[in-house]
Amino acid sequence: MVIAVADAKVYKFPQSTIAVEIYSNRAEVLVLPERRKFILRGERVKLHDLREVYPERTPENILTTIICNALQNNFLQVDEEVG
């Protein structure tokens, strides 16, 4: 798994567990055992535009799909690393 932070940093986590908490406009990604935490903001993935395309889906559902697809492709683009 590669996590790219904005356009500046790239972290590789080959033997990690990824835990994700989804909120209405952001997701918090925790990488264990490294204990690194990242934020993915919904504005970057244009949740508003996707809600117009898929009106029956919630923002949380859309973010979940985006993150699942990224994890399956071994590449997740996030906005920043926190903590």
The predicted-structure confidence for 22-74, as pLDDT tens digits, reads as follows: 998 899 999 999 999 999 987 777 777 887 788 888 888 888 888 998 999 99
Gap between the Cα atoms of 21 and 27, Å rounded = 6
What is the DSSP-derived secondary structure letter of residue 4? E
Average pLDDT over residues 1-10: 88
The CA dihedral of 59, 38, 72, 65, to the nearest 10 degrees, is: 0
The model carries a pTM of: 0.83
More confident residue, 42 or 4: 4
